[in-house]
Amino acid sequence: MCDVLSLLSLEELRRILFGEVLEGLPTFCLERWQSLHETAAKVLLSDSGVHPLTFSELLDYGLSLDRLFRVELGYGWTKGSPKLRETISEIYGGVIGPENVIVTNGSAEANLITVASVVRENDFVLVDVPNYMQVPGLLKWLRARTIFLRRSPPDWGFPLDKAIDLMRKHKPKAMFVNDPNNPTGTYMRRKELEELSREAEKTNTLLVFDEVYWGSELREPRPSILEVATPELAVSVSGLSKVYGLPGLRVGWVSGSEKLISRLWSLKDYTTIAPSVLSDYIASAILEHGNVEKLRERAKSIVRSNLEILKKSHTRFSDLFEVVLPDAGAYFLARIPWSDNTLDITYRLFSKYSVLVNPGECFGIPGYLRIGLGQHPPVFEESLQYLINSLARVRGELPAT
Ligand SMILES: Cc1ncc(COP(=O)(O)O)c(C=O)c1O
């Protein structure tokens, strides 16, 4: 493995990652970290979704090239084609229709337009952390009065009792939840979702769930928030990037009340106007062929195999990191018992050994690394061994804290 030298010093990088993009808008640490490094890394263990499908693999999922070649490259439907919105609504088990769906460019755009349309300055909102951290950044920019609901060790579960107490006390306008959760890999069971929804009804709190990892549950399946909560008070953000292995399509969506969808549509006029017609066509062809379950199974099977590889390697890494075993998602948290400076560790891993993993600092949890479990198992096995060897060397270079 050749040495790759990062162009930035650790201090420069720290200034960028924890600085601001615009006044009041913090740098989106995780995305910036990845954008700066992911195309150069030789060993990529930073992704949170399963390994992407190729075009030719999509032919096995019913995509017709003949029809694809005939797609006219116009603007298409700005809200997403009727067919795509229909197939997306079907994922929600019949509780919504196509009129409740708007297609966006990734769930990133879905989160952006949802937060922008729901939150005003000084609104009281609750937010589940750690998470992908896009929503907390936007809430800060919009100057919402934000209270954090922290998933904490050892179980990293959603703090349901605290959420209910805070809802009763503050009657927040909205609660932003990322479940199944990135980076902890935990998720709420139906009973917890029901309890939260009952309280939301009493306090008139909008439940905005980023459910982009929905369908990756390794234990009992979890319903969408839309299947549980009062329809006017539930919003689901999701997309094809993570569990379905299609991030390059940039297909995400928001599902919610017709009133909300109509506001989001007007906001989308300001962001990207429409999803790409090619992506819209491919996504509807794939979802139409009943591939949802098949793709979810593909994701779970990759993650299960990689978890087995991880467990088998336990003796090789047990003094280097402790694993927080995930129940969902395609990643795990690794606790580093010998240093809290995980940004320095990931910086050295990248600049000296060309290994990319994510620093806990980007999630507000220094002392942890987020490591991807979505690679094809033989690649994961090799990457993990390389990571373990590199991490052992990095430990030797660092003063203990
Ligand atoms: C929780 C969560 N939401 C949204 C996104 C954005 O994904 P995309 O825009 O590719 O759908 C990510 C990506 O990592 C994520 O982890």
pLDDT in tens, 215-232: 999 999 999 999 999 999
* Ligand 1 atom with minimal separation from the 105 CA: 9
Q: Where in the chain is the domain with CATH 3.90.1150.10?
A: 10-54+293-396
In this predicted structure, the answer to whether residue 386 has a pLDDT above a threshold of 60 is: yes
* CATH placement of domain 10-54+293-396: 3.90.1150.10
Neighbour tally for 24: CB within 10 Å? 11
Query: Is the shortest distance between the CB of 210 and ligand 1 below 6 Å?
Result: yes
Residue among 241, 253, 358 to mutate when testing ligand 1 (max atoms within 8 A of CB)? 241
Query: Is the shortest distance between the CB of 241 and ligand 1 below 6 Å?
Result: yes
Query: Is the shortest distance between the CB of 185 and ligand 1 below 6 Å?
Result: no
My answer on whether omega of the bond before 337 falls inside 30° of 0, hence cis, is no
> Six-digit token pair at 174?
């909205």
Query: Is the shortest distance between the CB of 212 and ligand 1 below 6 Å?
Result: yes
Query: Is the shortest distance between the CB of 100 and ligand 1 below 6 Å?
Result: no
Residue 338 CB contacts under 8 Å (≥ 6 apart), including other chains: 320, 395, 398, 400, 401
45 with 354: CB under 8 angstroms?
no
Using one digit for the tens of pLDDT, what is the confidence trace for 59-98? 999 999 999 999 999 999 999 999 999 999 999 998 999 9
Return the CA Rg of the chain. 21
Q: Where in the chain is the domain with CATH 3.40.640.10?
A: 68-290
Instruction: Say what the pLDDT of residue 6 is.
Output: 52
Residue among 28, 30, 107 to mutate when testing ligand 1 (max atoms within 8 A of CB)? 107
Q: Is 238 left (phi over 0), alpha (psi -120 to 50) or beta?
A: beta
How high is the mean pLDDT of the chain?
96
Instruction: Tell how far the Cα of 200 is from the centroid of ligand 1, in angstroms.
Output: 25
Instruction: Say what the pLDDT of residue 400 is.
Output: 60
Neighbour tally for 2: CB within 10 Å? 6
Query: Is the shortest distance between the CB of 108 and ligand 1 below 6 Å?
Result: yes
pLDDT-derived band at 126 (thresholds 50, 70, 90) equals very high
Instruction: Tell how far the Cα of 108 is from the centroid of ligand 1, in angstroms.
Output: 6
Query: Is the shortest distance between the CB of 34 and ligand 1 below 6 Å?
Result: no
Phi/psi of residue 51, nearest 5 degrees? -50, 130
Distance from C-alpha of 382 to C-alpha of 378, rounded to nearest angstrom: 6
SS3 content of the chain, % helix, strand, coil (to 5): 45, 15, 40
Task: Look at the domain 68-290 and name its fold.
Answer: Aspartate Aminotransferase; domain 2 (3.40.640)
What average pLDDT does this structure show over 393-399?
90
